[in-house]
Amino acid sequence: MKSKNEFLEMVYALRESGKRIASKTKKAFYSGFRIEGDKLHFYREGPQTEWTLNIEDLWKVYCTQEFINTSVVKKVIGGHTNSPIVAILINLQCIDENGKRI
């Protein structure tokens, strides 16, 4: 498991990477990452919609759960950012494709 500092460094690096992250199902993509305060803002492509998630919620899911999927995310934090959280955690190599925390 990554330390909180390592985790935050990886999240902050998203804004400079210009990355386009695929959802787990590869049917959606997330891009245009930017950080304002404790919020990570990004776009879901097709249709172009802006999404926001609390970075502390992202950390909370990662550090408290050994297995992470959209159902687990919803149970831990609620809301509608469940699928992007899973995609971001996979991309950051915090969980594997099966949802197991790394």
Domain that holds residue 39: 4-91
Task: Provide the number of structural domains found in the chain.
Answer: 1
What is the rounded CA–CA span in Å between residue 42 and residue 83? Answer: 13
pLDDT of residue 57: 95
pLDDT of residue 25: 87
> Which residue stretches of the chain have pLDDT < 70?
none
**25 located within any domain:** yes
pLDDT of residue 33: 96
β-bridge partners, 54: 39
**101 located within any domain:** no
pLDDT of residue 24: 87
How many of the other CB atoms lie within 10 Å of CB of 86?
Answer: 23
Handedness of CA 26, 22, 44, 69 (dihedral sign): positive
At position 24, the amino acid (one-letter code) is K
